[in-house]
Amino acid sequence: MIDADSGKVLRVVTLQYNPDTLTRSLQIKGVGGDSGDHSEPTRLKGPPVESIKLDAEIDATDKLEAADSSVTDLGLHAQLALLETLVYPSSADLRSNNSSAKSGSIEIVAMQKPLILFVWSKRRVLPVRITEFSITEEGFDAALNPIRAKVSLGMRVLTVDDVGFDNRGGSIFMSYLEQKEQMASGIATKAFGSLGITGLP
């Protein structure tokens, strides 16, 4: 997580194991919506809406064998709480809004969270919003602390359409897009002849 204004890194959350699969989908933003404008079928209104889904597994078995006190006392509660706080407003913000409401404030400002970056190698650093979050706890110790869990995450990549060009998230998205264009330009294109086509009809 980073501060969206200053770019200062606030917290780094690492996964214990790299997920075996990562699913990405891109919803195209064509002119005229999903059906498309028949008069301008090749125009785009902006970057596609990119969604990412993954399952992360967390296991406390090794730390339990090593008698790690943080795990023997809490199991995976602390690691899961760290991930869960990505989608919770802070207790201080909730109390502040409640106090404002009690004092008669007409408008309660939506609570601002730090910008979340999803880092999947140095070539994929993306500003994201978490859209789905589920936890399956699969094993417990004698005190019913979870010792194995699977976290399923769904994320939506934030583009300049979402945050603007001046926001830190916008500049990170533009770097991601420019790097994608550079990688694509390094692939040699084939002539029609390689497909057995001598010319267009």
> In this predicted model, what pLDDT tens digit does every residue of 162-189 receive, in sequence order?
999 988 999 999 999 999 999 998 887 7
Please indicate, yes or no, if residue 28 is contained in any of the structural domains: no
Q: What 3-state class would DSSP assign to 141?
A: coil
Q: What pLDDT, on the 0 to 100 scale, is given for residue 39?
A: 67
pLDDT at 72: 84
Residue 147 lies in a domain: yes
- Establish if 94 belongs to a structural domain: yes
**Quick check: is 66 in a domain?**
yes
Q: What is the pLDDT of residue 21?
A: 93
Query: Domain containing 58: what range?
Result: 51-183
Of 87, 25, 32, the closest CA to residue 52 belongs to 25
Q: What is the structure's pLDDT at 127?
A: 95
pLDDT for 44-60, tens place per residue?
889 999 999 999 999 98
Give the alpha-carbon dihedral of 185, 187, 191, 196, to 10 degrees.
-140
Measured distance CA(20)–CA(38) in Å, rounded: 41
Report the alpha-carbon distance of residue 117 to residue 25 in Å, rounded.
18
Domain contains 20: no
Asked whether 9 and 117 are in contact (CB, 8 A), the reply is no
Predicted local distance difference test score (pLDDT) of residue 36 = 54
Q: Which two tokens stand for residue 118?
A: 């999803």
Q: Which residues pair with 117 in a beta bridge?
A: 127
Residues of the chain with pLDDT under 70: 32-39, 105-109, 111
Tokens for 28?
A: 């195209």
Nearest CA among 121, 86, 62 for reference residue 13: 86
What are the tokens at 83?
């991930």
CA distance 157 to 125: 10
Q: pTM of the prediction?
A: 0.81
Would residue 22 count as lying in a domain?
A: no
**61 within some domain:** yes
Q: Is residue 7 domain-resident?
A: no
Q: Does residue 118 contact residue 108 with C-beta atoms inside 8 Å? A: no
Q: Contact 121/183 with Cβ under 8 angstroms?
A: no
| Distance of alpha carbon 128 from alpha carbon 159, whole angstroms | 9
Order of all β-strands in the sheet with 146-157: 22-27, 49-59, 146-157, 125-140, 116-119
Q: Phi, psi at residue 194, to the nearest 5°?
A: -70, -15
Asked whether the beta carbons of 68 and 59 are under 8 A apart, the reply is: no
Domain count, the chain: 1
